Amino acid sequence: MEVEPIPQEAQENIEQVDRADLVVGVLAHLDQDGLVIVCDALRTLSGSPRIAVLRDNHAASSAPANSDTVEKSASPFLIPWPLFRPDAPGMPAISMSTAYQAVFAAAERLEARACCVIASRLETVTPRWACRLAQPLLEEGVDLVVPHYARHKFEGLLNSSIISPLMRCLYGKQIHNPLGPDLGVSRRLFQKMLVTDSNAGVKGNRVHPLTSLVPAALCDNLQICEVHVGARVYPPTDWMNISSLVAQVLGPIFLDMERNAACWQKMRTSVPVSSFGEPVLVSQDTGTVDVTRMVESFQLGIRDLQEIWGLVLPPSTLFELRKLSRMSLEQFRMPDELWVRIVYDFALAHRLRTINRDHLLKSMTPLYLAWVASYANHLETAGAVALERRLEQLCSAYESGKAYLVSRWRWPDRFNP
Amino acid sequence: MWDQVKQALAQSTMRFLTRFANLLPGIAALIVALVLSVLLAWILAIIARRLLASLHFDERLGQWGFASLAEWSPMNSPTRLVSRSLATLVIVTGFLIGIAAFDFEWTYLLVQSVFAYIPNVLAALLVLLVGNIIARFLARSVVIGGVNLNLQYARLLSVGVKWLVIVLAVAMALEHLRIAPAVVQLAFGILFGGIVFALALAVGLGSKEFVTKSLERDAKKVSSEAVEDPLRHL
């Protein structure tokens, strides 16, 4: 099997370890204490597996001296590795993608049975959560462990509005955080990802490991489970680059839809996946959300982007959007059915290359912000129960709209807007 | 006297008939060249039309941002525009070949200069086409970027950028065609400068409020830090 080239500076370090049962890639910026907690947690895994922890070179540089070599006193072995940090400015999704491929390549080189990636700083770092990702892989024979973060109503909005409900309706499994980013992956699955990526790389169409993991596992009928890992600390919103973020996240998802069309068209309903651990409740109290900026962006889009949206959306949708743009801030509500159709129409336009793909995805941003404004208005004072009900309602809208997506996907000309 | 007139008339008639007879092979060659080129043009037009129709050329052109080309096309079909242009090109070429068959010096020079000019025309067309594509691409990028930055004048900026590139492309095309180069340079300078100046004025005046707001926002930043934006996207 062709393994991703491992950086020269990491070659020697990895040869010193020789082999491992579990490889853990730490992409999150953990300090020395955090790293010690993770290692201690990993030592509690039953069967005393041989563990290699890949830690970022940048993090290592702040650690005590002698940190650029492998610390091989006992498992887990700490291997300094030039990983890209997920919070790298500019192109977060791309640097994440490279980092995940590097972890998979290292796991393959060390002939590991499984690998885990710890990419986010968790609010409640307990000794248990780090090994929760690894446990089902080593003990239950699960192929993919995805996190179930404690949900806060205004966090992970791209996930709540598009990623999770879309994946649920496409692939038939109710996964709350399909893009992780904290994940556990079995040998079978990471090998598949490495092969798929090298094949796709030849065609000039590289696979994004984060977005492709769940579809790849589900289409191959591999076993998936969720683990409750507490609340996640989300990076603050960079309003200047929100359109780039939308494009970087949705592009790979729409590409995967194209790749797995034969698989997702067969799925009809969705079922929950097995989960481990106890759910953690977080407070839903927030400050006031000012939706003015988002609604203004949408109204500007209605004024200036009609020409582009007209190539993607049918006239009925454009009519609904124009109606929406005339609503006052307090009454601003986007119906779920309308939002779902917009997402489906953009996915189809992405497949058909109706316009340049980057333009297409970036032109979706004002529509996404309109949905966020509507959602924020709806849930301003809502608690945890209302939040779950609201998101379930959205997922149902995605599932009921799937027939429309399948029809347009199969016969795009017949439904041409 | 009458005999001399008759002789002169006979001689001029003879000269006319001789010259006309000399023209006849050229006319015949012109007619044959025209008939053959019309035939070839008809066949090529049919092939081009079918090929473009099978490639859904009209729809694709709309998707690439050239929907307005349909308005200029016969029966609103760019496919027909392309096939007819091709046919016209073949007929004109056939006509020029036919003219060259007259074997006069001036026809030879005319045909030679026309053929020598064709690369310039093709280069000018290419420049116009590429300029148009770049102009539309940049205009779309600017309008989308502008809207995402909440700029009220995003559309104006995009139109300005589009016309800047188109004016540049037209000036370059005219330069290739060697049509009044001095006038083109002057007109281009005036137009280009005019558009940039107009855009600078429009953006400057339009962004006055934006800059004021942003300065006010900066001034209020310390007090508003307590009210943090709770929205997180990814």
More confident of the two residues B93 and B69: B93
A45-77 pLDDT per residue, tens: 887 888 888 877 655 544 443 444 555 556 677
Question: Minimal Cα distance from B63: which residue of A?
Answer: A354
Backbone angles phi, psi at A225, to 5 degrees: -140, 165
B36 band by pLDDT with thresholds 50, 70 and 90: very high
pLDDT score for B175: 87
Spatial CB neighbours of A88, under 8 Å, sequence gap ≥ 6? A95
Place of tokens 């004109």: B92
Angle between helices A336-352 and A402-410 (to 10 degrees): 20
Residue in B with minimal Cα distance to A164: B234
Could you tell me which chain B residue has the CA closest to the CA of A236? B232
Q: What per-residue confidence (pLDDT) applies to A122?
A: 59
Q: Which of A249, A225, A243 is nearest to A156 (CA)?
A: A249
What gap in Å lies between CA B163 and CA A128, rounded to an integer?
62
Q: Please tell me the distance from the alpha carbon of residue A13 to that of residue A79, in angstroms, as a whole number.
A: 6
Are B118 and B93 in contact by the 8 Å Cβ rule? The answer is no
Distance from CA of A237 to the nearest CA of B (A): 6
Within 8 A of B65 by CB-CB distance, chain A residues are: 355
* Higher-confidence position of A374 and B198: A374
Q: CB–CB of A112/A21 below 8 Å? A: yes
Q: Are residues B135 and B94 in the same domain?
A: no
Cα gap A253→B61, rounded to integer Å: 27
Question: What is the predicted pLDDT for the residue at A67?
Answer: 46
B195-212: average pLDDT: 73
B-chain residues within 8 Å CB-CB of A289?
Answer: 229-231
Picking from B137, B154, B231, the nearest residue to A372 by CB comes out as B231
Residue B148 maps to which CATH number?
A: 1.10.287
Is CATH 3.90.550.10 the classification given to domain A8-276?
yes
Q: Are residues B30 and B62 in the same domain?
A: yes
pLDDT of A383 reads 79
Q: Return the amino acid letter for A12.
A: E
B162 assigned to some structural domain: yes
* A159: chain B residues, CB-CB within 8 Å: 234
Are B71 and B18 in the same domain? yes
Residue span of the structural domain in which B125 resides: 116-216
Q: What is the pLDDT of residue A303?
A: 92
- For A237, the closest of B141, B143, B229 (CB atoms) is B229
The minimum CA-CA distance between A366 and chain B, rounded to whole Å, is 7
With an 8 Å Cβ cutoff, are A158 and B147 in contact?
A: no
Instruction: Write the DSSP symbol of residue A45.
Output: S
Q: Which of A293, A359, A368, A371 to mutate to test the interface with B (most CBs of B within 10 A)?
A: A359
Across the interface, do B144 and A359 touch by the CB < 8 Å criterion? yes
**Same domain assignment for residues B123 and B94:** no
- HSE of A50 in the Cβ direction (CA atoms, 13 Å)? 12
Concatenating the DSSP letter of every residue in chain B gives -HHHHHHHHHHHHHHHHHHHHHHHHHHHHHHHHHHHHHHHHHHHHHHHHHHHHHTTHHHHHHHTT-TTHHHHSGGG-HHHHHHHHHHHHHHHHHHHHHHHTT--HHHHHHHHHHHHHHHHHHHHHHHHHHHHHHHHHHHHHHHHHHHHTT-TTHHHHHHHHHHHHHHHHHHHHHHHHTSSHHHHHHHHHHHHHHHHHHHHHHHHHHHHHHHHHHHHHHHHHHHHTTS-------
Contacts of A308 in chain B (CB under 8 A): 140, 143-144
Q: Can you say whether residue B123 is alpha, beta or left, with left for phi > 0 and alpha for psi between -120 and 50 degrees?
A: alpha
Residue by residue, pLDDT tens for chain A (417 residues) are: 444 456 666 777 777 777 888 888 888 777 777 778 778 888 888 878 888 888 776 555 444 434 445 555 566 778 877 765 444 444 455 567 778 888 888 888 888 889 988 887 755 556 577 788 888 888 888 999 999 888 888 888 999 999 999 999 999 999 999 987 888 999 999 888 888 776 765 555 667 888 888 999 999 889 999 998 878 878 777 778 888 889 988 999 999 999 899 999 988 888 999 988 888 777 767 667 888 889 999 999 999 999 899 989 999 999 999 999 999 888 899 999 999 999 999 999 999 888 888 999 999 999 999 999 999 888 877 778 888 899 999 999 999 999 999 998 888 776 555
pLDDT of B196: 82
**Cβ–Cβ of B231/A249 closer than 8 Å?**
no
Give CA torsion, residues A147, A151, A154, A159, to 10 deg.
30
Chain B residues whose beta carbon lies within 8 Å of the beta carbon of residue A303:
155
Global pTM reads 0.80
In this structure, the answer to whether residues B144 and B82 fall within a common structural domain is: no
Rg of chain B over CA atoms, in angstroms? 31
Instruction: Looking at the structure, tell me whether residues B77 and B11 fall in a common domain.
Output: yes
Tokens 């799937």 -> residue: A402
DSSP-derived secondary structure letter, B74: G
Q: What DSSP state is assigned to residue A154?
A: T
Q: Are residues B44 and B81 in the same domain?
A: yes
* Contact between chains at A154 and B230 (C-beta distance less than 8 A): yes
By the CB < 8 Å criterion, does B223 face chain A? no
Domain boundary pick from B44, B73, B103: B103
- Residue ending a domain, among B76, B103, B130, is B103
- In b/e form, how buried is each residue of A118-150, taking b as 16+ CB within 10 angstroms? bbbbbeebeeebbbbbbbbbbeeebbbbbbbbb
- H or E segment and range at residue B62: helix B57-63
Nearest CA to CA, how far is B212 from chain A (Å)?
17
CA B170 to chain centre: 8
Judged by CB atoms closer than 8 Å, whether chains meet at A154 and B231 is answered as yes
Using an 8 Å CB-CB cutoff, list chain A residues near B154: 300, 304
Predicted confidence at residue B65, as pLDDT, reads 64
Same domain, B121 and B197: yes
B6/B98 same-domain check = yes
B149 within a domain of the structure (yes/no): yes
Residue B72 lies in a domain: yes
CB contact under 8 A, A311 and B63: yes
Question: Distance between CA B203 and CA B149 in Å, rounded?
Answer: 14
- DSSP per-residue letters across A269-335: S-EEPEEES--------------HHHHHHHHHHHHHSHHHHHHHS-HHHHHHHHHHHTS-TTT----
With an 8 Å Cβ cutoff, are B152 and A234 in contact? no
Dig out the tokens for A59 from the structure.
Answer: 């993090």
CB proximity B5 to A under 8 Å:
no
Residue of chain B minimizing CA distance to A249: B234
CB A301 within 8 A of CB A344: no
Residue B43 maps to a domain: yes
The answer on B122 and B95 residing in a single domain is no
- The sign one gets for the Cα dihedral B2, B8, B11, B12 is negative
What lies within 8 Å, CB to CB, of B43 at 6+ separation is none
Handedness of CA A274, A340, A371, A249 (dihedral sign): positive
Hey, how many other C-beta atoms are within 10 angstroms of the C-beta on A198? 16
Q: Rounded to a whole number, what is the distance in Å from the CA of B201 to chain A's nearest CA? A: 21
Of A94, A10, A90, the C-alpha closest to A54 is A10
**In angstroms, what separates the C-alpha of A236 from chain B's closest C-alpha?**
6
B143 and B71 together in one domain: no
Q: How many domains in chain B?
A: 2
| Binary contact (A234, B232; C-beta < 8 A) | yes
CB atoms within 10 A of CB A348: 20
**DSSP secondary structure string, A237-259?**
P-GGGHHHHHHHHHHHHHHHHHH
Question: Crossing angle for the helix pair A242-259 and A92-109, nearest 10 degrees?
Answer: 50
Radius of gyration of chain A (CA): 22
* Interface contact flag, B229 A236, Cβ < 8 Å: yes
Structural domain contains residue B222: no
A399-408 burial code (b ≥16 CB/10 A, e <16):
bebbebbeeb
Alpha helix ranges (H) inside A80-144: 92-109, 129-139
Q: Which of A206, A159, A153, A152 is nearest to A181 (CA)?
A: A159
- In chain A, which residue's Cα lies nearest the Cα of B156? A304
Asked if B152 and B59 sit in the same domain, the reply is no
Query: Is the CB of residue B139 less than 8 Å from the CB of residue B158?
Result: yes
B25 shares contact with chain A (CB less than 8 Å): no
Helix (H) or strand (E) holding A385: helix A384-400
Of A37-51, B23-37, B111-125, minimum mean pLDDT range: A37-51
* Contact with chain A for residue B231, Cβ under 8 A: yes
Residue A310 with chain B: CB contacts under 8 Å = none
ipTM: 0.83
Segments of chain A assigned to CATH 3.90.550.10: 8-276
* Distance of alpha carbon B35 from alpha carbon B32, whole angstroms: 5
Provide the pLDDT for residue A65: 39
Tell me if chain A has a CB within 8 Å of the CB of B105: no
Check CB contact under 8 Å for A297 and B146: no
Residues B70 and B77: beta-carbon distance below 8 Å: yes
Residues of A in contact with B228 (CB under 8 A): 287
Interchain pair A243, B152: CB under 8 A: no
| Distances, alpha carbon B77 to alpha carbons B48, B55, B91, in Å | 13, 14, 21
B71 contact partners, CB below 8 Å, separation of at least 6: none
Instruction: Using a CB–CB cutoff of 8 Å, tell me whether B228 touches chain A.
Output: yes
Check CB contact of B143 with chain A, cutoff 8 Å: yes
pLDDT in tens, B139-172: 999 999 999 988 888 888 899 899 989 988 998 9
**How close is the nearest chain A Cα to the Cα of B85, in Å?**
27
Residue A252, both tokens: 């790979």
